[in-house]
Each structure stands twice: as C-alpha cells, then as structure tokens.
Amino acid sequence: MALTQRDSAARILLAEEKLLQRKMKTWPSGFGVKLEIITPFLGKYRPFMGRCCQTCTPKSWQSSFHKHLPSLGFHNVLQVTEEDTRYRGWLVRRLCYLLAILEWKVDSETPRDLQERIFCSKRVQDVMSLEVPQARGAGSVLSKSPAQWRSEVLSILGQIQSPLSLFILRLCSWALLRLLNHMFLNLLLHKGQLEMVRRAAQTPDVPLVFLSTCKSRLDGLLLPFLLFSQGLGVPRVTWEYQAFTPSLRALLSRLGGVFLPPGAEHAPDGERGVLSRAILTSYVEELLKSRQHLVIFLEEPISGEPRLSAPGGEWLALVLGAVHARAVPDVMLVPVGIAYDVAPSASRGGLSGSAQPLGLWSCLLAVRRALGQEFGCVRMDFAQPFSLQEYTANSLFRQSCSRKSLEQLLLPVILGKSPDLLDWEKSEEWYPGLGAAAELKADERMLVGRLGLHSLSAGVSCSAVMAVAIMSALLLHKHREGVFLSRLMSDFSWLVEETLLRNHDVGFSGQLRDLVLHALSLLRGCVSLHRLSCGDILVAPRETEAAVRELSWHSTALLPVFMCEAVGACAINALLVEMLPFLGPAELPAAVVLSQEELRRKTLVLLQLLPRDVLLLQPCQSVSCYSQEVLDKLIQCGLLVAEETPSERPACDTARRRFSQKLLWKEMEDFNDSDSDYDEDTGKRCFKISQLDNCPDFFLFLCGLLGPLLKTFERAAAFLVESGCPELELEYVEKLQRFLVRKAREDGSFVCANRSLALSSVRTFKELGVLREQPGPAGPILHLSETFSTKGNQERLEKFMGQFTSS
C-alpha cells in the first residue's frame, strides 16, 4: 500500500526508492545446482520470494519462471473498476462490482455423473462385496441390497461435497468483495507469482493443489475468491467437518467446500469408516481427473506458531495416493503464504479459536463487529509450483535411515552425560492420524510428513512481513519500557532493512512516518502515547495480559526471518550461563572467549530440541549443515567476531603457505581427512561477542523471539512436580495451561500463557521420553517416565531448558 504522504522530508522506504541494478550470472556447478550471483544491495532491494527447492525439485525450479517476472509489480485485488468489465459509463462505475463478478469464469465443474463414477469405482465395490480385510473383520456385517448401498454411498458423498451453485457463488463473491473493501485497505499479490501459477495451470491433465498457511478462518473464503477473480476457476476448499453447524456446512459446500466425512475420522476400522475412506479416496481421484483445483490448509488455525495440522495431512495423503494410483499423471503443488496486518480472528484479544461450531448467525455477528474495526492490509504470496512426482522420486532417493529419536539424542545431555549423537538426524515421523492415511505404508506416511513440512516451510518463507508485525516485535522485545517516536522510527527502518537483507519481503510501502503511525493506529489497544514538552512523543506498550498476548501474536511473524540468528543467540546465552560462575564481577560478556566447538554443540542441542515445524527446517536440510549456517549468520550480522592471538596467523590473512606444504602428492601414504585445512581449524577457532553499540540490544532482541517457546518449556518442566500423572492428556494440558497463566500473572510474562505453546511443550516432552503415552477409553493417558519421576532429574530438566532463555 502507498500511504498518504504527510511528511515530504521523511525517508522513503520502498516505493519511491530507486531500485539498484541487479546483475546476475548463472552457471552450472559440479553438483547440478545453478547458482545466482546478485550484486549486494543496501536493504532497499525488494526480493522476489517463493522459488522452489533446487535440491528436491531441480526441474521445477527451472520451469514456470522467467527473469522478467520479479519486475511485474503488485496488483490490488480489491480495486475493481469499470476497467475490469466490458462496459463503460456512469452506471457501470456504480455497478462495476456486480458486472465484473458476472464475467468471472468457472473453468472446470464437477462431472455430471460423479455419483455413478464413485458408486461403480473398484474401491467402493470391494467394500460392498466385503473384499476389504478391515470390513470383513469389523464385526457383524449385514447384507444390504444395491439400493441400500447406493443410498448409503450418496449419503456419505453428500457429507463430503455438494455441486457448485453459480448463483450463490457469484452472490457471495459480490458480498465478500464489498465486505473486504470495508475491512482492509488492500489485498495485494505479486503479478510475477500469479504468472507462475497461470503457467503451471496450463500443463495438460495436471491439476493444481494449493498448500496454504492459515492465519484466520477468513482464509478459506479469501484464497478461493482471489483465484476466482484472477481467472483460475473456483477451487475446492478443504474445511473441518466438526467446526461448522449443518446449515453453514451446506452453504460452504455449495461454494466449493469439501469435508472429511465423520466416519473416516471417528470410526476408521468400522464398516462405515472403511466405506467412507473408499468414497473419499475415489472422490479425490475423480476431482483431480476433472482438473479441479484443490486448496489444503497445512497449518492449525489460530495457532501461535507454524504447526502441521492433522486434517491437512489427511488431504495431502489422499492427493499422494491418487498420484500413486495413477489417477492423474502428476499434480503441481503451490505453497501459499498469507499475511495480515491484523488477522480478523486474532484481533482485540481474541487469540483462541472457539470450541463451539461456527454457525450462520455467528458469522453474521462477526461480520457486524468487523465492520467497525480496522484490519490494515493483506498480502498473499504464491511460491513457485513444483511437481509432486519429481519431489516423490527425489525424496525417496535421498531418504536416510540413520536417524535417532529425540530421547536418544538429548537424554544423555540432560542427565549430564557425554553427548555423542548430536550430529544424527532426529526421527520425526509425523503421522497425519488414522482415517485416509491408515492405508499408506510407513515410508509413504513419512513422505506425507516430509512433503507437508516442506510445503509449510515454503509457504511461511514466501509470506511477507507486515508493518504491525515489525512494530509489535520492536515494542515487545526491544522497547518494553517505552521509546521516543523518533527513535522508534529509526528502529523501524533498521528492522525493515534487516528483513530485506535476509531475502524476505515486506507487505507495505510508503513514507517512514506514515508507516509507523499506521502500525501504531492498528495497535492502539496495546500502546499508550504521551506527548512531551520537548515536542517528541513517548510510545509505551501496555502491560496488560491482552496487550502483551496480542503483541506476542503479531511478533511471531518475525521469527522465521531471524530463525538462524535467534537460535545462535540462545546458544550463546547457554554458554554464558555455564561460564557465569567462573566470571569475575567486573568481567563483561563481550570479554568472554567462545570456542567454536562448544558453540556448535550448544547449537546442535537447541536445534534437536526445537520442533522441526517451528524451525521450518526443510527435510532435505541436515541439522549439521544448519548449525554451520547459524554460525555463519552470527558472524555475518556482526554479533560474533573472530578472536585472534598474536602468535597465530590473522583469520583474514589470505596469504598462501609454502608451496611444499601444499603438494598433494607429498606423503600420500599418510594422507587422511585430518590433513585438510578445514579439519585442521575445526574446533580451534574462537569468537567474542561484538562490542559495537547496537549488538547488546540486537542480542536480547533475538533471544526474545525464541523466548516464549523456550520459557514455556522451562515452566513445563517445573510443572512436573505439580502434575498428577497418570491422567488424561486433555486434563494434563488444561492444568499446564492454568499453571502457565498463574506464573505469567506473577512475573508479567504473558507471552508464555498460550495454549499452542503448552501443546508444543507436551509434544516435545513425549518425544524426549519425559512423558509416556498410553491409549485409554476416553483418550490418551500420560504417565511420568521412571527416569523423571525423581526430583533430581526434574531439576536437571528444568535447568537444561532454562539455560537458553535470557532471564
């Protein structure tokens, strides 16, 4: 958005800044990877995000992309004028919304004989003839007539989908367009990204599947509306069956919504569950055959962090199964990132989704409330489409069996034993649950998890950072005590440049003062402004629970941008905590010398501890390589400087050694890997924390980004003393949530009082072996493991978790 120009002397951030000339050279390397050399920029170059992975999909990386695409600019979807219609005139300007929507085309529709195709499919017929092993052993199976079978099949199919209603679709699109114009200032998308999607949509007999992040319930309407308006047809959108009342489900299904039938989730081994899975699998195959696009949300809605959702995994497993069954030759996957200034579901303290099903009246009341609020801007980004067939082939080829569980990796470290397995990869098998994924083999289930994590990482990485997120991070992690407006403007500009330098785009443009005031106006419930006699304005964040939680919610968008640096800063903090008893009272942290080997070990420990979907570490990237990237980032951003002794050669010295020492054929019989220069210096390099003026603040800022999750882990360890294990997992989470809230009210750290963080801690503790899970009639039952039933090991666990926090 280009905000109103109020101060002509203010520094222009993006829109009015002249783009630096970009010089690119591409050459093939020995590993088959093409590298791009880009001339350095000063934080003003706007990066083009969304390129797919070169390692997993090298062919897709070359297709559907051209070097002119980044220069196409942006398009505001909500700005519909008479130019978007075939007509002109005074009346057209007043009816342009309606006329434009009437011209939008629905490219592909549901086949008229869909019901007959599904009823006659082999899977459904096998279930009806009791040729499926699960159905044969399900219990008492009564014989049914063909008419009864057809009625049951149509009933389950009606729970999954309904035919599109073009009248309702266009009417709701017109109402949604008017509503969005009242709620948001604009809805931006990059024309170059849209062009990549259009090129992928032109591939014969290959449908598109959009794998999207989820920031609000509105996303399920916003994304299909955008695709419909840009000539990409009406996609089928996956919704959760239990989240809506029957009346709202009926409306959503007429708009293109599809649902997992309750039989496939609640009774997967029963007769109706097996039949529901067969119908669902056949429906997805027929859907993809007719080249209808599908939208799958990979994230848990209204969660405080990126986390793979179980329903998203179910649908992804169905798509993968359709390709393996050769129902379609291939599927093009399109990761999607959505960013709001203020997400409607998370505004004004409403940070948790309601457990009650959403109905029509609830939607109308929500719309009425939304009309009186401001939500700022929206940005939607499409990553480069990639082939599912290509990803599957490369993923199975690269799959490694040398993995260890988190308990095997970190339990010796927690108990004070020597860590010798930190370089191993963590075995995180994300199972989407039962139901549709139950028919997949173990390696196929792992493939679904890897594909979901890869797509979620791509979607989050291509998401733009909004002005409210930058302002929230500054107020929460850098200026908790308050800051002058002039200083806040300077820090806002600095954080924007740091974001752009890390190849992440921002979702705004305009003049600096206007952007800062725009963000503060949207956060007016979280900040207080005081005009001073000197002419400046003091901006102070409120210390209320609702204000802190909302600032924390918005600031999480900065964590993927600074993830490497945040992990490195917390690892440095852990080393400083260990050295604190040995430091004198006058010694500063900047005087402490840090060994590269010790820093790498702490980094590996933290990387193994954090969930992979929080790290957004792609499955094709190893933890060992990522730890080296963390160290490189710390040096690049200036937090670490090399420590040099007078007797050693300077680290920046590039002088060649004597020629006789570099002869490769000299003493060949004694040659081994330790003779290389790299291994000679590994573990011997030392670093110091930089003494520049901005480094301490930047260090605390980075620790604060990961602080809420790590602090929650520490308090979850302290909660073990009060836990009443064994007990149901739901009851355990509720007690942990109340414990976190009580602790937050004692010290004001409301950023930890988050249910999603509590769930992450329980999941991590189960992987660590702290909690043991056993099935129960009312749900999973958690037991405290024998190792951590003693108070001494519980204190060791709490100390281990607390070393990474900055407090």
Of residues 754 and 28, the one with the higher pLDDT is 754
Q: What is the CATH class of 707-803?
A: mainly alpha
Supply the mean pLDDT for the chain: 81
Provide the b/e sequence for 376-415 (b: ≥16 CB within 10 Å): bbbbbbbbbbbbbbbbbebbeeeeeeeebbbbebbbebbe
The answer to whether residue 477 scores a pLDDT higher than 50 is yes
How far lies 316's CA from each of 432, 448, 452, 453, in Å? 9, 7, 7, 11
Nearest to 447 by CA among 494, 411, 396: 396
For 32, which DSSP code? Answer: S
Residue 268, preceding bond cis, omega within 30 degrees?
no
Residue 761 CA to chain centroid, in angstroms? 18
The whole-angstrom separation of Cα 671 and Cα 679 is 13
* Least confidently predicted of 548-557, 591-600, 794-803: 591-600
Nearest to 209 by CA among 399, 455, 569: 455
Return the CATH number of 58-126+147-396, one of 3.40.50, 1.20.81, 3.40.1130, 1.20.1740. 3.40.1130
Nearest to 337 by CA among 515, 505, 566, 519: 505
How far lies 396's CA from each of 52, 57, 443, 669, 683, in Å? 18, 13, 9, 38, 34
Looking at residue 236, its pLDDT comes to: 94
Map out the domains of the chain as residue ranges: 4-39+464-543, 58-126+147-396, 560-658+683-695, 707-803
Looking at residue 547, its pLDDT comes to: 92
Looking at residue 800, its pLDDT comes to: 93
Residue 597 CA to chain centroid, in angstroms? 31
Q: Provide the terminal-to-terminal Cα distance of the chain, rounded to the nearest Å.
A: 39
Q: Side by side, which strands form the sheet with 537-541?
A: 483-484, 537-541, 527-531
Decide the pairing of beta strands 208-212 and 332-340.
parallel
Contact 454, 619 (CB under 8 A): yes
pTM of this structure: 0.86
The whole-angstrom separation of Cα 399 and Cα 422 is 19
The CATH number of the domain covering residues in 4-39+464-543 = 1.10.10
Provide the b/e sequence for 262-277 (b: ≥16 CB within 10 Å): ebbbebbeebbbbbbb
Strand boundaries in 5-86, DSSP class E? 24-28, 34-38, 74-76
Of residues 301 and 92, the one with the higher pLDDT is 92
- The encoded tokens of residue 386 equal 């990639």
Average pLDDT rounded to a whole number, residues 21-41: 36
Contact 593, 409 (CB under 8 A): no
Looking at residue 418, its pLDDT comes to: 67
Looking at residue 50, its pLDDT comes to: 83
Domain 4-39+464-543 and domain 58-126+147-396, same fold? Reply is: no
- The encoded tokens of residue 190 equal 């990059």
Span 321-371, pLDDT tens digits: 999 999 999 999 999 999 999 998 744 433 344 567 888 898 899 888 888
Measured at the alpha carbon of residue 521, what is the angle toward residues 515 and 523, in degrees to the nearest 5?
Answer: 105
Burial of 372 (0-12, 13-18, 19+ CB in 10 A): exposed
The whole-angstrom separation of Cα 689 and Cα 593 is 8
Single-letter code of the amino acid located at 345: S
The whole-angstrom separation of Cα 86 and Cα 102 is 11
Q: Side by side, which strands form the sheet with 781-784?
A: 727-728, 781-784, 771-774
Contact 262, 241 (CB under 8 A): yes
Looking at residue 340, its pLDDT comes to: 95
Residue 437, SS3?
helix
Residue 412, preceding bond cis, omega within 30 degrees?
no
Span 782-794, pLDDT tens digits: 999 999 989 999 9
* Least confidently predicted of 22-26, 707-711, 799-803: 22-26
Q: What's the topology of domain 560-658+683-695?
A: Arc Repressor Mutant, subunit A (1.10.10)
Per residue, the 3-state secondary structure of 324-392, as one string, reads HCCCCCCCEEEEEEEEECCCHHHHHHCCCCCCCCECHHHHHHHHHHHCCCCCCEEEEEECCCEEHHHHH
Span 717-733, pLDDT tens digits: 999 988 878 888 899 99
- The encoded tokens of residue 417 equal 């034993």
Task: Express as a percent the part of the chain with pLDDT over 90.
Answer: 43
